[in-house]
Structures are given as C-alpha cells and as structure tokens.
Amino acid sequence: MASDPTYVPDTERRGLIGLAPPSIRPWLLLARFDRPIGAWLLFWPGAWAIALAGGAVRRWDMLLWFGLGSIAMRAAGCVYNDIIDRDLDARVARTRDRPLASGRIGLKGAWIYLIGLCLIGLVVLFQLNLRAQVVAVASLGLVAAYPYMKQITWWPQAWLGLVFSWAAVVGWPAVTGGFAWPLSALYGGAVLWVIGYDTIYALQDIEDDALAGVRSSARALGRHARSGVASLYAGSVALLGLAIWLARPDPLALIALAPFALHLGWQVATLDLADTADALAKFRSNRFAGLLMFLACFVAAAGL
C-alpha cells in the first residue's frame, strides 16, 4: 500500500474506499472518507450536548442529523483546508501526496466538490430550530479562519478546539430551544479535549512542521508535551464534570464521568512521544473517549 500515491500514513483506507475505482478514489481521499475519525470527533461534542440536555431518547432523530452533518461538514472542512494549504501540504512528507497538493484533483473541481458537500450540510441545517440554525451558521467564520492559524499562532489547535466543539453549542438549543450554564462548561471542556488530542496528533509532524515553518502546540510544548496534554485533559475533565454537576447536582452523577477520565489518563500515561504510530493510535482512541463521555451525559441526564 505504501507505494500507492494515494496512500498517506494515517489512512484507514479499506473496504469500500479500497475497492473504489482509481478515478473516484482521489475524491474520497480529498474529503478524508478514508479517515472517519475526524467525523466522529466532530460529532461527539454535539451528541454530548444533546444527551446532557435530555434529548438522547426524546430527540434521537437529532443525533442522526448531527451524524450526517458531521460527516458532510468534516469532509467540507477538509476540502477547504486542502484548498488553502495545497502549497504548504506539498512541502510536508505526510501531506504531499494529498489529491490537491499532488495535482490529481484540480482547484476548480475541488471548489465544486466543496459546494456540493455544503449543500448536504444545508439540508441538515433545515432540520434545526431557528436559534440553532443561527448558531450553526455563526461557526463558518471560525471554520474559514482555521487554515491560516498554523501560520499565525503557535496554538492552532486552540482554534481547532473552538471549531470542533461548536456542535455542542448547536446541539443544546436544537433540543431545548435555548441556552443554559451547563452548556458553557460543556463547551469549554470539549475545547480543551480537542486541543489535547490534536496536540498528540501533531506529534507526528514536528520535524516536517519545523522545516516548513508550520506552528503547532506540539512544537510549542516540546519536551513538555506529555505534561501539557495532561493539563489540558485535566482541565477538560474538570469542566465536563462541572457541566454534569450543573445539569444534575448529584455526586453519583459524577461517577459516570470516571471511565472518560480514566481513558484520558491512560492516553497520557502510555503516550510514547517519539513514536508517531503510538501518537496516531492515541489520537484515534478519542473516538472511544467520545463515546464514554456521551454515556456519562446520558446517564446524568436520565438520572440513572
């Protein structure tokens, strides 16, 4: 597989993606359909908000719409990011074979593809109430600015945290029609979670990023990356615990948070800073961490 020009080190290409005709495969790779982890990570904060607001059962359909929206908008975000970063990607080993950077897809085609994906997101938008729609549209500014952050700040992961956690701010009013204090803590906790796991992800690119002049939290933290991620995860657990407490002030409800906290602790304790494969594995494990937090929110809201 490594000799395939469409292969990238963190791909999960198999199944239908691997069987796709060569003419279609670059389009699937451009939208990162070979790496579904991104869609999961975009989905979970919204699912947390829906569950903590008491809508996991009553508004189960909203979970499905958010799932579709996460797939479409994560794909759209990847296409947009690659459009902006096509020249930069060509200078980084892990990204130089991406469809746009390698020239297998043209710029005009990428823009048309992006519009099509956004139209799917528009269908999802129409399923929301007006307040949630306004909040969802407000995220477009954050999304548009993200590709430039890695050239402006040493902490582009912080901006990604704002973007990838925004589904929580949409999910709560989508269920309740308004906002509440638990949402503020939930959003803050999600942001710190995203910064933590994306710092782990960025460990893969430290050398290439240094050569290309790309900034990242992993480079900023350097040899303190483990303690930095530990601090981010600790802050995340604290804020998410506060969100649960504000929604249901019962010490027993906080017990539901323990599996999520233990999983993050395991990531930090076993992380090998020098092993890119381990960094990728720890990053991907946050798909399971997101599920654990969703179950905690569900249990807390249901009063189980």
- Please tell me the predicted confidence (pLDDT) of residue 2: 39
Contact assessment for residue 219 and residue 206, using Cβ atoms and an 8 Å cutoff:
yes
DSSP, res 223: G
- Please tell me the predicted confidence (pLDDT) of residue 213: 76
Q: Which two tokens stand for residue 256?
A: 């539901």
pLDDT, mean over the chain:
90
Residue 231 pLDDT exceeds 70: yes
* Fold exhibited by the domain 16-302: Tetracycline Repressor; domain 2 (1.10.357)
> What gap in Å lies between CA 272 and CA 229, rounded to an integer?
13
Cα–Cα distances in angstroms (integers) from residue 252 to residues 52, 59, 72, 237, 296, in the given order: 15, 25, 37, 16, 11
Cα–Cα distances in angstroms (integers) from residue 38 to residues 9, 228, 249, in the given order: 15, 22, 33
At residue 135, φ and ψ (nearest 5 deg) are -65, -40
DSSP, res 98: S
Cα–Cα distances in angstroms (integers) from residue 74 to residues 37, 71, 103, 204, 261, in the given order: 10, 5, 22, 21, 26
Instruction: Place 8 in a pLDDT band, splitting at 50, 70 and 90.
Output: very low
Residue 5 pLDDT exceeds 50: no
Of 218 and 237, more confident: 237
> What gap in Å lies between CA 292 and CA 275, rounded to an integer?
26
Lowest mean pLDDT among 33-42, 85-94, 211-220, 246-255: 85-94
- Please tell me the predicted confidence (pLDDT) of residue 136: 96
Contacts of 248 (CB under 8 A, 6+ apart): 300, 301, 303
Instruction: Place 34 in a pLDDT band, splitting at 50, 70 and 90.
Output: confident
- Please tell me the predicted confidence (pLDDT) of residue 14: 58
DSSP, res 67: H
Contact assessment for residue 30 and residue 82, using Cβ atoms and an 8 Å cutoff:
yes
> What gap in Å lies between CA 263 and CA 284, rounded to an integer?
12
The residue whose two tokens read 């050398």 is 207
DSSP, res 213: T
Contact assessment for residue 167 and residue 40, using Cβ atoms and an 8 Å cutoff:
no
Q: pLDDT digits over 126-150, tens only?
A: 999 999 999 999 999 998 898 888 8
- Please tell me the predicted confidence (pLDDT) of residue 16: 65
Q: pLDDT digits over 210-223, tens only?
A: 777 778 999 999 98
Residue 6 pLDDT exceeds 60: no
Residue 249 pLDDT exceeds 60: yes
Residue 209 pLDDT exceeds 60: yes
Q: pLDDT digits over 49-102, tens only?
A: 999 999 999 999 999 999 999 999 999 999 998 998 888 788 777 788 889 988
Where are the domains positioned within the chain?
Answer: 16-302
> How many H-runs (helices) and E-runs (strands) does the chain carry?
17, 0
Tell me the angle at which helices 181-202 and 156-164 cross, rounded to the nearest 10 degrees. Answer: 130
Q: Which two tokens stand for residue 209?
A: 């990023």
Contacts of 145 (CB under 8 A, 6+ apart): 159
- Please tell me the predicted confidence (pLDDT) of residue 7: 43
Which of 200, 59, 205, 188 is closest to 132 using CA atoms? 59
Residue 193 pLDDT exceeds 60: yes
Residue 116 pLDDT exceeds 80: yes
Q: Please state the rounded mean pLDDT for residues 238-265.
A: 96
Percent of the chain with pLDDT over 70: 94
- Please tell me the predicted confidence (pLDDT) of residue 144: 87
The residue whose two tokens read 């990604």 is 160
Which residue type sits at 191? V
> What gap in Å lies between CA 301 and CA 183, rounded to an integer?
13
